[in-house]
Amino acid sequence: MNVFSGHISNIQVSKSLSMISVAIDNAHILKAILVETPETASYLKEGKQISVLFKETEVIITPEEEPLISVENKIRATIAIIEKGELLSKVTLASSIGDIVALVTSEILEGLSLKEGQNVVAMVKVNEIMLSK
C-alpha cells in the first residue's frame, strides 16, 4: 500500500459525492472522490491533516513526459528498482513525495522498455485513492 501524508486543500461537493484535494507538498496535489461529504464525515475539513492511500495495482506508469490521458493524479518519478517476475513485476519509483510502488505485468514492462534510472510519470485515478484520518 502506498501511503502519503498531506492536508486537505479543497473540497468540492455535489449531492452525496465529494472531490477532495490533498496537498502532499507544494508541487503535488492528489485528488480522491468519496461517497461522503463534510456533513457526513467530520474529518473532511480544509486544512485537516490526512493520509492518502492507494494500492500498488492502481498505479499506472508511462515514460511520456506529458501524457494526454484522463487521469488527474500525475507524479513525476524515476524508476529506482525493478523486481521482474514471470507474470507481474514490482516497480519502485522514487519521487519528490516519496517512493511509490507499482505492480505491472511483466509483458508491459518489456513492451514499454522500462528500465531502472528512467524518468516516468506515475498516475492514479481519483476513484482509486483512499483517505484516512
Interval 33-88: pLDDT, tens: 999 999 999 999 999 999 999 999 999 999 988 788 899 999 999 999 999 999 99
pLDDT of residue 67: 80
Measure the CA–CA gap between 8 and 19, rounded to whole angstroms.
11
Tell me whether domains 2-53+128-132 and 56-124 share a fold: yes
Best CA proximity match to 129, nearest among 60, 41, 30: 30
Q: Where along the chain do its domains lie? A: 2-53+128-132, 56-124
What pLDDT score was predicted for residue 87?
93
- Domain 2-53+128-132 adopts which CATH fold? OB fold (Dihydrolipoamide Acetyltransferase, E2P) (2.40.50)
CATH of domain 56-124: 2.40.50.100
